[in-house]
Amino acid sequence: MKISAIPRRIVTGLKNGRSLIVEDKKVTNVSEHLPGLLISDIWATNSMPVDLTQELLIDNTLVPDPPKQGSYFRYVSIPPDKDLGIPEMIANKAHPLMHKTDTLDYIIILSGELYLILDEEETLLKTGDIVIQKGTNHAWSNRSDQPCVQLAILLDATK
C-alpha cells in the first residue's frame, strides 16, 4: 500500500484547568480502499452533546457509518477516475461508486476538483467549494488528472 498524503492531527485538552496540546502527530488510521483512494477517519463521537473526555477512533470504511447520535471527521484523497479503472460516464448509467448514507455531511474541497453526482444532476466542485449533503444518493467523480482532497464532517441523521 502506497500512502503519500497522511494528514497530521492535533488534539487539544486540559491539564490543571489549562489548555494544552495532548497529541500532535500524523494519523495512523489511513487506508487505501482502492488504488489512490485514501481515507482517514480523523475523529469520531458517539453521543450528542459530545463527551470531551472520550477519545473515539474508528476503522476507516469506504462507505461511512457514524455511530448513532455521533459523528465522523473524515479526510479523503480521491484519485482520478481513470486511475481507479472507472470508464468515462455513459449517459443514463449510474457511477459505480454511487452510495447513500443516513448522515448530514459538511464537505470542503481543499485541493483539486471533482464532480458531485446525484440521481438527477451533477455539478463540478473546485477548491474552496462547500457541500451540504443531506442523506442523498451520490458519488464523487474525479475527471481530472490530479487527486482531489476533501474534508468531511458526517453527522448521524434521521429522516
- For the stretch 86-143, pLDDT in tens is 887 665 677 888 888 888 888 899 999 999 888 888 899 999 888 988 888 888 999 9
Please report whether residue 68 resides in a domain: yes
Please report whether residue 59 resides in a domain: yes
Question: What pLDDT shows up at residue 3?
Answer: 46
Which of 23-32, 66-75, 134-143 is modeled with the greatest confidence? 134-143
Q: What is the mean pLDDT of the segment spanning 56-75?
A: 72
- Enter the C-alpha cell of residue 56: 473515539
Question: What pLDDT shows up at residue 113?
Answer: 96
- Determine contact, residues 149/126, Cβ cutoff 8 Å: no
Question: What pLDDT shows up at residue 61?
Answer: 62
Q: Virtual CA dihedral for 121, 86, 134, 33, nearest 10 degrees? A: -170
Please report whether residue 136 resides in a domain: yes
Helix, strand, coil percentages, rounded to 5, for the chain:
5, 50, 50
Question: What pLDDT shows up at residue 30?
Answer: 80
Q: What is the mean pLDDT of the segment spanning 37-57?
A: 76
Please report whether residue 6 resides in a domain: no
Among 19-23, 31-35, 91-95, 131-135, the least confident range: 91-95
Full-model pTM: 0.75
- CATH code, 74: 2.60.120.10
Question: What pLDDT shows up at residue 98?
Answer: 85
Hey, CA dihedral for 100, 106, 112, 115, is it positive or negative? Answer: positive
Question: What pLDDT shows up at residue 119?
Answer: 86
Please report whether residue 18 resides in a domain: no
Please report whether residue 133 resides in a domain: yes
Residue bearing cell 465522523: 72
Number of structural domains (the chain) is: 1
Question: What pLDDT shows up at residue 146?
Answer: 96
Please report whether residue 114 resides in a domain: yes
Domain membership of residue 65 as a residue range:
30-156
Mean pLDDT of the chain: 81
